[in-house]
Structure 1
Amino acid sequence: MVGIKNNRRAQYTRQVIQDAVLSLLESKTINNITVTEVCKMADINRTTFYRYYDDVYHCVDGIESEFIESLNEGDVESPSQGMEMVLNEFYHRKRLSNLVFVEGKTRLLEKMFEDFGDKAPNVDEYQDVYLMAGIQNVLKKWVKDGMKLTPHEVTKKIISLVFADDIQSLRDRIKR
């Protein structure tokens, strides 16, 4: 017999639960979502929910972990290629990306940056925090603006900002 993790029916049930949580997160913060609401929306009973998750936070943590794992599957040759790959994933999974950037809902960005930060070569801790905060806010703006720019265009903007391509132009405007 196949274990609970690999059973198709179990995978389907987990997906239905995750979809219900994602739907509820579009209109509520995570701390205002109850297991009862999730079960009603997913058309399952509470026992089924608790077979897979301890609570709603555990479910969201699972969604986030699966997303991060999917990002780690690709081969990345450069930081800009990695950035574009991440943006493409968000672009194609808009439902997930729309809610992870809203304050107080999830910690996906924080987890992603922790994961990617562990792979960064000899970057000063303060520089790392500064860069990640800037990138995080650019990504939030991109999502809140409806992802009108392509992932490639946003990657170019981030790279330009990181390498301060327009810093002299900014200095000139400030002096006026």
Structure 2
Amino acid sequence: MDVNKKTQRNRFTRMCIGEAIVELMKRETLDKITVSQIAKKAGISRMTYYHYYDSKVNAIEDYLREIIIQYLTENKKRPKEERFMEYSHILFSIEFFDQYATFFIIMERQGLYSVLVNAVNHFMVELYSDHKDMIYRAYYYAGALLNTFINWEKTGKLVSAQDVAKMISESAPQMP
């Protein structure tokens, strides 16, 4: 399904489905959640669910893709000269994804960390497709940021987002 061709209305429906799954995953594992439960929680019919998705993992992947698209949209409003691994960009990333902390923690706790990593890797490949020499640095950075972010959230944010961003920026290799 081409994300760029989706309308606002079906984006809203798909986000409702994703949010319904996240809510249900607070109480049950993904494999035990039924499409009927998702449809009821999202306020849609089962037919609508199947119009968009053929699996629950596919729905979760789409929800994550929409989060990343929103991140990219917000990121475009930021200074162009800023580099990914600079403090200000890392802080922006942490603060942006903090609003989806519950989703990330639930995914990790339910053994779906690979879905997160695959989405981040896909994003990095798209972003650095013209810079083959940078892709492994991008994987390094994205994986480190994701892992640090999730563990920061899971442990109750024992230090500030600013402190985490500073630690990451001081240890990250420089990239465009």
When the two structures are superposed, what TM-score results if normalisation uses the length of structure 1?
0.70
Q: Secondary structure at the match of 1:67?
A: helix
Partners of 1:124 and 1:112 lie apart in 2 by 12
Report % sequence identity.
Answer: 22
Is 1:104 the counterpart of 2:111? The answer is: yes
Label 1:18 to 1:59 Cα distance change in 2 as closer, same or farther (>3 A). Answer: same
The superposition leaves residues 75-123 of structure 1 with CA deviations (integer Å, 9 ceiling, x where unpaired) of 4511223322221111223333332443522512432244236527734
Label 1:38 to 1:156 Cα distance change in 2 as closer, same or farther (>3 A). Answer: same
Q: Is the 8 A contact 2:120 2:142 kept in 1?
A: no
Partners of 1:51 and 1:12 lie apart in 2 by 14
Partners of 1:147 and 1:65 lie apart in 2 by 25
Structure 1 outlier segments of 4+, above 6 Å: none
Is 1:159 the counterpart of 2:164? The answer is: no
Q: Is the 8 A contact 1:84 1:155 kept in 2?
A: yes
Moved more, 145-154 or 81-90: 145-154
Q: Is the 8 A contact 1:30 1:104 kept in 2?
A: no
Partners of 1:124 and 1:108 lie apart in 2 by 17
Partners of 1:13 and 1:124 lie apart in 2 by 34
Unaligned runs of 5+ in 1: 164-176
Q: Return the offset for 1:131.
A: 5.2
Unaligned runs of 5+ in 2: none
RMSD: 3.0
Partners of 1:115 and 1:124 lie apart in 2 by 11
Aligned match of 1:167? none
Aligned match of 1:67? 67
Structure with max Cα Rg:
1
Label 1:42 to 1:103 Cα distance change in 2 as closer, same or farther (>3 A). Answer: closer
Aligned match of 2:7? 6
Q: Is the 8 A contact 1:98 1:144 kept in 2?
A: yes
Q: Is the 8 A contact 1:29 1:104 kept in 2?
A: no
Partners of 2:8 and 2:71 lie apart in 1 by 24
Aligned match of 1:173? none
The superposition leaves residues 35-70 of structure 1 with CA deviations (integer Å, 9 ceiling, x where unpaired) of 122123234321121122222122111111111112
Greater RCO between the two (CA within 8 Å, min separation 6)? 2
Partners of 1:94 and 1:20 lie apart in 2 by 15
